[in-house]
Amino acid sequence: MLKAPRNALRPLLVMLVCWAAATAQAAKQARAPQGTSSREARDEAMRAIPYNQLDRHARIKVGAVLANTTIYRHLPSETIECDAALFVFLVEHPDLVVNMWEVLGVSDVELLRAGDHAFQASDKAGTRGHIEYLFDGPQVHVIYAEGTYTGSLLPRPVHGRCVILLRSNYLRAADGRPIVRSNIDAFVYLENVGVGVLAKTFQPLVTSSADHNFRETTRFLASVHRAAETNYAGMQRLAQQLTKIDDGDRREFADLTTQLAVRAALAETPSAANTAARPSTAGRPAPRLRKR
């Protein structure tokens, strides 16, 4: 059964379009390992961005945010059980994840594809923005977002830009189960926000909200993996209900969950599993870095 995020959780990428919007829903946070905003973590994250594999326009966007960062946050690492190919697919298709949440009735956020690597986002509560994947790789994703928050929290609209560095490692547990360990570094530039407002209003709530939402989002991806293994029919029905995504993406999602269901069934019969043994997507995805 899918464990959908609760507590008015915003999709991870939409939340980071403009961190101001996240403050409106940060009242209830679970106690958990905290992230950091240290200079050491920030410098390490900046070195990890694959600048030499970004095109000129992407480097300009990234450089502008990093040179004017208002808030930096290294979110706590999360470790989940999830097929590597499924994890990468869901990371690179946030519109599909948001459509799932809509079908499950837990979110009214809108995220629609606006190109091969771009999306338009709205949380219907004052935040609108544009998200662009500047670099896709199994182990590294660089995502750029910009947006505007207009609402009762502040007397005037706030425009923000951010760069998100997602790093993922694909491992196996002692029993062979696929494990994904991931972490996010977010660099945010908020325009026209005074130091006092930033210190008193934004940073405390935003940082705790980001930590919490990343944790809940990764747990949701893990629940998709579990449901694919244990509820084949239900996942196929869910795939057919995803009407706001590309038909090809919907078919690929259905195929991925079918493969997981088949492998799980074979694993229950050792002799069948041995006969059918072959390379699977549960390990590290094949390199397919794409630069823009």
Domain spans, the chain: 12-21+32-269
Name the more confident of 165 and 153.
165
Q: Indicate the DSSP class of residue 11.
A: P
Mean pLDDT of all residues in 249-266: 96
pLDDT band at 123 (very low <50, low <70, confident <90, very high): confident
Whether residue 119 contacts residue 133, with contact meaning beta carbons closer than 8 Å, is answered with: no
Question: Does residue 89 surpass a pLDDT of 80?
Answer: yes
| Rounded CA separation 247/253 (Å) | 10
Give the highest mean pLDDT range of 25-39, 193-207, 251-265: 251-265
Whether residue 112 contacts residue 98, with contact meaning beta carbons closer than 8 Å, is answered with: no
Question: Does residue 252 surpass a pLDDT of 90?
Answer: yes
Q: Which residues have CB under 8 Å from 178's CB, separation 6+?
A: 81, 82, 83, 84, 170, 171, 172, 225, 282, 283
pLDDT band at 30 (very low <50, low <70, confident <90, very high): very low
Record the tokens describing residue 255, joined without a space.
């195929």
Q: Which of 185, 214, 186 is nearest to 80 (CA)?
A: 214
Per-residue confidence (pLDDT) for residue 38, from 0 to 100 = 94
Angle at 223 between CA 288 and CA 36, to 5 degrees: 70
Would you say the C-alpha torsion 2, 14, 94, 65 has a positive or negative sign?
A: negative
Type of residue found at 51 = Y
Question: Does residue 16 surpass a pLDDT of 80?
Answer: no
Output the average pLDDT for the chain. 80
Name the more confident of 208 and 21.
208
Q: Which residues have CB under 8 Å from 159's CB, separation 6+?
A: 18, 146, 147, 148, 190, 191, 192
CATH no. of 12-21+32-269: 3.90.380
Q: Which parts of the chain fold into alpha helices (H)?
A: 12-15, 39-48, 56-67, 84-92, 94-104, 195-197, 203-230, 232-240, 247-267, 270-275
Question: Does residue 192 surpass a pLDDT of 50?
Answer: yes
pTM reported for the whole predicted model = 0.82
Q: Which residues have CB under 8 Å from 154's CB, separation 6+?
A: 20, 197, 201
Question: Does residue 12 surpass a pLDDT of 90?
Answer: no
